[in-house]
Chain A
């Protein structure tokens, strides 16, 4: 226990390596063994991450579970990990997302199974690592490392336009990251360290601070993605296999929001405040703009992809309002969005596996042929439009209420997204599930066991967070307060 607790973060990050090693030395024909190994590996990893939650101390202000070991001494870079209230919830979210991906891909990935599960496990390592890293080199490595398996997942197991989409995805996000890398190198040259806890307390001339902020912000804004650098997302989502979309929606785009809260804002507070108006406006544009695109979208996956842009607009709205209630809401909404949109992508994947069509007009009356599936989809739809009692409401309510206290105009415009959101989601639901049964979908296989489990897990979380969010909100209380206090 002692060894585990002292290095808990390392355990969670690196535990999937065991699975990777076993799979590497397994014959590729032995597919079910490979699947089971990766499933069990991730289940254990998820349990470890829940163990992390249980051992978190709510009252402490700084980082917990800190590990600092010598690594690349000659550039003064350490293997430095730690979590606080901002990052901790993303770790179980990452492992859970990978778990869902394994469940939902169980039967739908048929080619190169071994490589697929290796890529998933590798993604999990990189995702968790990114949320734990407190050394900028370690952070940057994990941050970029995610791109490799994601590039492969989209490029190999994706849809017809997968090559275009995956290259676009890679170059787009890589383009942003380069600016961040320049920023990191500048900081190193100036202060001789990559240690986040030291760098966060530095003061800069305003111009330098602004440039540094923008360098980091471009990387994060592309990841979120904020308007107008969002166009990689619909393509990547649409062409990715279901698991790829779930990881994209669940974790990858959360890295952007997390990056703002962890790095860009606390390290460069003056610049963050100076540019906050701009980011608020961009957020509101994203909410409305992407929502309007959703209204006229006729591809299931593209619609949900654009809805992600709209929902992440709420998140960045909450972040840049610099209000503690809104900030809490923004972090929670990232978790919510990961659960709900991930679940929606799984739902699309489930019918895509059966029909191989993403066109909304291909469907109709699905509630008649797949009633249980329809019920799950309804729950996710309601969570997505923020109905009270579901998690989506808590996030949106806290974000809008908190932002209202600091900036009323933005909320008036942003809240129209709630109307548009209801319109496009319910219209989607109507066209897919209601009306006369479309002969295309008259005979549908019922949900399989793995699919059912993959849908039940997010459903439970949706109602748990919706009805009793305080457990989750309490994690953030001290850290968010601390963060915003340093800002003033």
Chain B
């Protein structure tokens, strides 16, 4: 939770109205999640919102000057690191750079579906299959029972149960189709617990089921470390090892502290990575920092940041004693 570590930064004059720091506030965020937090949390969220609003103005200005779909040009969505400069027109290159910079700063919520679909490569994936692919896939899976569908049915009511739409019959039917559809598309993954949270969030952002499905597909097949969700979760093991190395390098004190306590950080970090932080961060905050073009890098830096915040919050002393009794 983005709590008091942010307080100092956001303690501007107008917020001094909120002097009672323990006061709990409840409000609905952009994606209809009920958020409960203290005044500091609200301040952070307001700050994030304000930044996104400012970004929105930049996006609109660009749309006005370059046209609504300026970033949808074919080469733009290329995720490969090497772009042959000679094969690109200068304007396309500028657009690419502009887009990268803009995404780093956050995408306005209304544009998220379009931008995510394009930048992630999901649109490209979608364009290689017949238009009826999704509908046919869903029709083919109707009435079929597999271990995956059984587990999915078990998890549907347990996926953000407090969310009004996800808790409705309609929402659960949508989520079910996306997850079941994907379990048939990739039988090696089938269904892995955790994907329910990812898919649910994608549904809320992308608005249409089919787009959510393709976002899920591109994430699992192209963006994230491969085999994160397959039978042995081997990709997830790799991520955890990398994360541990990064932690030792970037936050040596935290790493040493955890080591001294004999605490394996993957015990908590596994959930962060497998659910793409959707279980551990408020959705609106999450959206504005999750950049799907660099999702993985982002995950690592997010996880590091989470631990850093925790260190500040709990103030681990330099040589934290770890007495047994």
- Whether A associates with B in a native complex is no
B interface residues, Cβ below 8 angstroms from A: none
A interface residues, Cβ below 8 angstroms from B: none
